[in-house]
Structure 1
Amino acid sequence: MYNIVIVEDEPIELESLHRIIAQCVDNAVLHEASTGKRAIELIDELKHIDMMFIDINIPLPNGKEVIEYLKAKNTETKVVVTTANDDFDLLHSMITLRVEDYLLKPVKKTTLTDTIKRTLGIDEQTTSASSALKTEVLNLLQNDNCTQWHNFLLKHINHAYEQTLAGTEARRNVTELLEILNTYLKSLGHQYASVCSILDELIHEVEWHGLTQALYSHLTLSLLKLSHDIFAVSGNTVGNKDFIQRAKLHIERHILSDLSLDDIASHAYVSSCYLSRAFKKKQQIGLSNYVAQRKLHVACGLLQFSDLKINAIALELAWQDANYFCRIFKKEQGIAPSDYRLMHAPRRH
Structure 2
Amino acid sequence: MITKNIVIVDDEPTTRQGLQRTLERWSNGEFTIHTAESGEDVLRIAEETKIHLLLTDIRMPEMNGLQLLKNIKEKGMSPVVIVISAYSEFEYAQEALRLGVVNYLLKPVGKKKLIEAVEEAVQVLEKQLRVGMIEKVVDEKIVDANTKIDSAKDTIRESITYIDQHLKDELTLKDVASHVHLNPSYFSVLFKEQVKLTFSEYVTRRRIQRAKELMISTNLPINEIAEEVGYKTAKYFIKLFKDNEGVTPSVYRKTNNERAF
State the TM-score, normalizing by the size of structure 2: 0.52
Check the 8 A contact 1:49/1:77 in 2, yes or no: yes
CA distance in 1 between partners of 2:232 and 2:96 (Å): 51
How far apart are 1:24 and its partner, in Å? 1.8
SS at match of 1:56: coil
Equivalent residue for 1:35? 38
Check the 8 A contact 1:160/1:170 in 2, yes or no: no
* 1:22 is the counterpart of 2:24: yes
Check the 8 A contact 2:11/2:38 in 1, yes or no: yes
1:122-170 deviations in whole A, cap 9, x for unaligned?
9xxxxxxxxxxxxxxxxxxxxxxxxxxxxxxxx8xxx9974463xx686
Report the residue type matching 2:110 in the other structure.
K
How far apart are 1:299 and its partner, in Å? 4.9
Check the 8 A contact 1:56/1:64 in 2, yes or no: yes
Task: Give 1:138-217 correspondences, 5 Å limit.
Answer: 162-163=209-210, 165=212, 171-174=216-219
SS at match of 1:121: helix
CA distance in 1 between partners of 2:207 and 2:7 (Å): 25
* 1:92 is the counterpart of 2:94: yes
CA distance in 1 between partners of 2:31 and 2:207 (Å): 19
- Judged with a 3 Å threshold, the aligned counterparts in structure 2 of structure 1 residues 25 and 173 are, in CA distance, closer, same or farther, namely farther
Check the 8 A contact 1:4/1:49 in 2, yes or no: yes
User: Structure 1 unaligned runs (5+)?
Assistant: 123-154, 178-218, 224-293, 311-337, 339-344
- Judged with a 3 Å threshold, the aligned counterparts in structure 2 of structure 1 residues 44 and 75 are, in CA distance, closer, same or farther, namely closer
- Judged with a 3 Å threshold, the aligned counterparts in structure 2 of structure 1 residues 4 and 307 are, in CA distance, closer, same or farther, namely farther
Identity of aligned residues (%): 25
Report the residue type matching 2:236 in the other structure.
L
1:8-61 deviations in whole A, cap 9, x for unaligned?
111111111101111222211111110121111112222x21100111112212
Superposition RMSD on alpha carbons, in Å?
A: 3.7
CA distance in 1 between partners of 2:207 and 2:107 (Å): 39
Q: Give the number of aligned pairs.
A: 160
- Judged with a 3 Å threshold, the aligned counterparts in structure 2 of structure 1 residues 308 and 34 are, in CA distance, closer, same or farther, namely farther
SS at match of 2:62: coil
Task: Give 1:1-349 correspondences, 5 Å limit.
Answer: 1-26=3-28, 27-46=30-49, 48-121=50-123, 162-163=209-210, 165=212, 171-174=216-219, 219-220=221-222, 299-304=232-237, 306=238
Check the 8 A contact 1:160/1:171 in 2, yes or no: no
Check the 8 A contact 1:160/1:173 in 2, yes or no: no
Q: Which has the higher contact order (CA 8 A, sep 6+)?
A: 2
CA distance in 1 between partners of 2:46 and 2:207 (Å): 26
State the TM-score, normalizing by the size of structure 1: 0.40
Bigger helix fraction: 1
User: Structure 2 unaligned runs (5+)?
Assistant: 125-167, 169-205, 244-248, 253-261
CA distance in 2 between partners of 1:13 and 1:29 (Å): 18
CA distance in 1 between partners of 2:239 and 2:233 (Å): 12
